[in-house]
Amino acid sequence: PNTLAFHDHLFLGLITAPLTWLSGEPLLGYNLLLLLSFAFSGWAVFLLVRDTLGDRLPRDAAGAITWSAIIAGAAFAFCAYRFAHFPHFQLLQTFWMLFALLFLRRLLRPIDAGGGRLRDALLCGLFAALQAVSALYYAFFTAALLSGYALLWGITQLWLRLRRGGRLPWRQVALLVGAALVGALLALP
């Protein structure tokens, strides 16, 4: 009894339901989502790499940053792991995790660099919840990834404050807790 309670329910089928109803062909929606999983995963890595390199490299390296992000996105979208899990539809939905990390990075930036925005916290929580709902298996990876990143950020902030003095980034900490609550409340049901 209740064995479906422990299985991914593939809520992404709700997205393609209108297409299935209009066309009468359920494979059309499945195949569309399958192809979009490659596109969205590549796009997520592209945005994450561009955002990360944009923080580190000078502005005159914009072309190199863009090409690096394109290559990284293509490499991730079409890596062997993804093709090995081609029959496991829910395991191809990795892009939510990457979008959650992207918005976590943006949230934890210093305020003078555009960090500490409520929108980034809400999007981080939303994408983490969508990852948990898409593939329960990846929910644990997402939690470890986001909490590990936040923990390293917190340790770094404490170390910087001890060495240089100044205030702790309480706004980012409060928004980080808010993002975790949004993700948990959306994924819990």
Q: Is residue 28 pLDDT above 90, yes or no?
A: no
**Residue 174: which of 98, 134, 135, 121 has the closest Cα?**
121
How many contiguous H segments (helices) and E segments (strands) does the chain have? 8, 0
Rounded Cα distance, 115 and 163, in Å:
22
Verdict on whether the full-model pTM lies above 0.85: yes
Torsional class of 151: left (φ above 0), alpha (ψ -120 to 50), beta (otherwise): alpha
User: Per-residue pLDDT tens for 99-132?
Assistant: 999 999 999 998 888 888 999 999 999 999 999 9
Question: ∠ CA 49-55-57 to the nearest 5 degrees?
Answer: 90
Rounded Cα distance, 140 and 185, in Å:
16
Place of tokens 């690096």: 68
Compute the average pLDDT of residues 17-22. 82
**Residue 68: which of 84, 51, 83, 85 has the closest Cα?**
51
Structure tokens at 40: 């969205």
Query: Are 76 and 92 in contact, with CB atoms under 8 Å apart?
Result: no
Average pLDDT, the chain: 88
CB under 8 Å to 96, separation ≥6 — which residues? Answer: 127, 128, 130, 131, 134, 138, 142
CB under 8 Å to 119, separation ≥6 — which residues? Answer: none
Rounded Cα distance, 173 and 109, in Å:
11
Output the pLDDT for position 10: 62
Output the pLDDT for position 2: 64
Q: Can you tell me whether residue 174 is helix, strand or coil? A: helix
Helices (H), the chain: 13-23, 26-56, 62-77, 80-84, 95-107, 118-134, 136-164, 170-187
User: Per-residue pLDDT tens for 47-104?
Assistant: 999 999 988 778 788 889 999 999 999 999 999 988 888 777 788 888 999 999 999 9
